[in-house]
Amino acid sequence: MTIALSTLVGNDASASTFELDKAVIGATFPKVEDKNARKALAVALIAFWQNFNSRIPRISPSEEAWLQGEMASKDGSRIQRAAETRSGRLKLYRTTA
């Protein structure tokens, strides 16, 4: 799948989610012109991402408070260490999924 996507959007690792989504939709559903078909596709994609997002574990309120405090720091190494923790990675996954 990665190889196929890289041929669609190039080898640019900074491709945005929108660009990747557009490439996947274009490859999977080329020129979906029917309004109802586009609507059904949108509903299916939303359901897929909601299901995906629901499987990412939540961090506890105390972990959230700790992480916010660390991220509010002006110390770059402290922010980086917090981002690399389990809590930091889960928070990132939840906000980008």
Tell me the pLDDT tens digit for each residue of 58-90: 999 999 999 999 999 999 999 999 999 999 999
Residues 42 and 23 in one domain: yes
pLDDT at 79: 95
Residues 9 and 50 in one domain: yes
pTM of the model: 0.52
Cα separation, 69 vs 41, whole angstroms? 40
pLDDT at 21: 78
Do residues 35 and 20 make contact, with C-beta atoms less than 8 angstroms apart? Answer: no
Residues 7 and 43 in one domain: yes
pLDDT digits (tens, 9 = 90+) for 13-53: 455 678 777 777 777 766 767 788 878 888 888 898 888 88
Residues 34 and 70 in one domain: no
Show the domain range for 90: 61-96
**Per-residue tokens: 40:** 């059904």
